[in-house]
Amino acid sequence: MLLAQQPMTRYPFRDPLPMPVEQFLHADDALSAWTAELGGRPVGHVCRTGPAAGFHDAAALNDACADAHGCPVDALGWVSTLFVGADARGRGLGELLLDAIVGDIRAAGLRPCLEVLPMRPAALALYRRSGWTEVLTLRPAWLREAAGEEGPDVVVMVLRAGVSPDRRRRGSADHSSDHACPPVR
């Protein structure tokens, strides 16, 4: 499903992936993960990881988010690999997955963070609509290698305390067709 939707969304940005799909999906280091299903078939995914690690710019990402949240780096929870398959878009699944993982991050006593490429306007719009704010833009080494200096920068965002990820409580979206959305588990 991840690779099938990639030509339309350009997520993941690197095609082919320089790693196994399982590694990209954080099969080994996810602290929690959620899957959306339609008719018993997986159609969306998101997971939570700990603070960014293992690459040159990890400290810059963590420091910007910790500063924005006013917390130590070990209190950060990162939203990772959020996507919905091409044939399941337009059903509110991205919002449901985002709500589920933010709830999970907060239930663990952590502060939500994520990174996104602005060339994914639907993802960026979802995050902004949900109350996420930008705290840093940068061009990590992997992106320079993949796109050179002409490509987009990564946007690092946080969801501050007191901002609800659930649009139903905030009333900023019409969920009159929520009954059509499958459960997220």
pLDDT of residue 166: 52
The per-residue pLDDT of the chain, averaged, comes to 83
The domain 2-162 is placed in CATH, from the list 3.40.50.1860, 3.40.630.30, 3.90.1150.10, 3.30.1360.40, at: 3.40.630.30
Rounded distance between C-alpha atoms, residue 30 and residue 40, angstroms: 22
**Please, which residues bridge with residue 80 across strands?**
47
The model's pLDDT over 52-77, given as tens digits with 9 standing for 90+, comes to: 988 889 999 999 999 999 999 999 99
Asked whether the predicted pLDDT for residue 80 surpasses 50, the reply is: yes
| Residues 185, 37 contacting (CB under 8 angstroms) | yes
Confidence band for 165, pLDDT divided at 50, 70 and 90: low
178 or 146: whose pLDDT is higher?
146
**Range in 30-39, 56-65, 123-132, 143-152 with the lowest mean pLDDT:** 143-152
- DSSP per residue over 29-52, as a string? T-SEEEEEEETTEEEEEEEEE-S-
